[in-house]
A and B are shown apart, each in its own frame.
Chain A
Amino acid sequence: MFDRIAARALVPVGLVVTGFLVVCFVLLYAAIKEVVIRDSIGHANNLAGIVLKSTRYAMLQSDRAMNNAIIRNISEQKGVQHVRIFNKKGIIAFSSKAEEVNRQVDKKAEGCIVCHEKAEPVTVLGNMQKARTFKNSLGEEITAITAPIYNEPECANAACHVHPASQTVLGTLDIGLSREATLGSLASIRGQMLLFSILALALTSAGVIALLKMIVLAPMQKLQRYTERSLTDDTVAQPVGLPYELDKIAKSYYLMRQKLQQAEPEPAKAAERDTAP
């Protein structure tokens, strides 16, 4: 099989085009995935900021009812899985799920350990560090943002509050968002890229096969048939319409046959004619 021109030419071309396309596809998809996930975490951080701004006034007023109402309303929004506010001790002060309120959370739990890994907790986090992903009890993919609630002059100076000015972080907001939309977008992008890659591969392969057959293989077969027939039939005509190089070979072969015929002695020719089928 590998003796034939078609196999020798098409195997490396097919391998190179397919391999390079696969590499580019995977790398491009990984890059797009990173951008989409970074973007979705950016949006989640913005939402966490909105929640903090919304609850700020209620917290300054120490209005638990208003805080609860805000958190409950936000958690009713499609895609929001949970909203919790922890105090400094890790106790859930407000939650979209009423049964969670007053529960203590382990500082070594996922989402808390990012800041509480060392004896002195980290107080400033980047956007990506605030995010974590996990599967909830229903098996849904969740992105959660843990945003610190910083102490501000209004908080430290408020008459109803007891936070000293030296306390940097008053508590933490934890908001969980469904990743369904993000994963859906990624699946759609992956499908489209896969389709495009398969089409590009099929088109390239078909183009190479068609061109190779038209320019090389078909004329080569024509030349091959001519040389084979001319062994038994002196009258076979030289093929026309061959590409330049093959045409030169056909002409050289034709001239060689002519010279051989002229050089052959008459009895040999007669014997050849007698034995010819």
Chain B
Amino acid sequence: MEQAAKNKNLAVDEAAADARASLRQGLLAEIKSARRFANRGLWALSLFLMVSTLASRDFWFLPSPEKIVVRLGAPPTATIISLVLVLYTFSAIILSLSRMMAGIRHRSSFCHVGYLGVFYLFYYAARGLADNYWAVFGAGFTILCMESYRIWTFCNDLITKKSEQLAFLERTGRLPPEEPDLSE
């Protein structure tokens, strides 16, 4: 009888230890993933700097603007591209700020590199790259720095929160109670 009770206690202890280990592992995995995700903005920024280097050398490996125009037709004028660039920069910054306020995990950095690369190409085809290079570079640097900052602060907060949960788990063997929603 006593042995059965001991076995039962042992089984309960083992189950609790398993649950704790699995929770611990889950939290550690989340911290690791957040650490990896925190660098995403910087990777996007590096890729953008690489694209900008190619643009600063006037895309030497691409066919000349005349050949592009013959194949694809006339590009929009540099003025129209500039107007779209201003609109894009404004909306991207507003979106990034809104995501920062709402605390949303969003992986948008790399698509910005694509959009900015397309701006470089349009200016190249419209023969306006020399005059507008720094505008695209400034827009890209601002947007990607904002995104990096947003992702970095988001991940930092998440890592702090998960580390506190991990410490609580080590102390008590369970997760802390959910924080009440005080946003309203």
Map CB proximity to B onto A4-45 as digits: 1 under 8 Å, 0 otherwise: 000010011001101110111011001101100000000000
Cross-chain contact of A30 among B78, B100, B142 (Cβ < 8 A): B78
Q: Are A20 and B89 in contact (CB under 8 A)?
A: yes
Q: Are B141 and A19 in contact (CB under 8 A)?
A: yes
Q: Are B86 and A34 in contact (CB under 8 A)?
A: no
Answer whether residue A244 sits at the interface, using C-beta atoms and an 8 A cutoff.
no
Give 11 A-B pairs besides A22-B134, A23-B139, A33-B131 with Cβ atoms closer than 8 angstroms: A12-B146, A15-B142, A19-B138, A19-B142, A19-B145, A19-B146, A23-B89, A24-B86, A26-B135, A30-B131, A34-B79
Q: Are B142 and A18 in contact (CB under 8 A)?
A: yes
A19 to B134, CA, bound (A): 11
Interface residues of A (CB under 8 A from B): 2, 8, 11-12, 15-16, 18-20, 22-24, 26-27, 30-31, 33-34
Cross-chain contact of A23 among B79, B131, B142, B153 (Cβ < 8 A): B142
A30 to B139, CA, bound (A): 15
The total of chain B residues at the interface (CB under 8 A) is 25
Residues of B within 8 A of A2 (CB): 153, 156
Q: Are B146 and A16 in contact (CB under 8 A)?
A: yes
A12 to B143, CA, bound (A): 10
Q: Are B146 and A30 in contact (CB under 8 A)?
A: no
Map CB proximity to A onto B67-97 as digits: 1 under 8 Å, 0 otherwise: 0000000000011001001100110010001
Q: Are A31 and B79 in contact (CB under 8 A)?
A: yes
Of A16, A19, A23, the most chain B CB neighbours within 10 A belong to A23
Question: Can you list 11 pairs linking A and B with CB atoms under 8 Å apart?
Answer: A2-B153, A12-B100, A12-B149, A16-B142, A19-B141, A19-B143, A23-B85, A24-B86, A26-B135, A27-B82, A27-B135
Known: A24-B86, A27-B82. A15 touches B149 (CB 8 A): yes
Cross-chain contact of B142 among A11, A20, A31, A33 (Cβ < 8 A): A20
Q: Are B142 and A27 in contact (CB under 8 A)?
A: no
Q: How distant is A3 from chain B, measured CB to nearest CB, in Å?
A: 9
Answer whether residue B117 sits at the interface, using C-beta atoms and an 8 A cutoff.
no
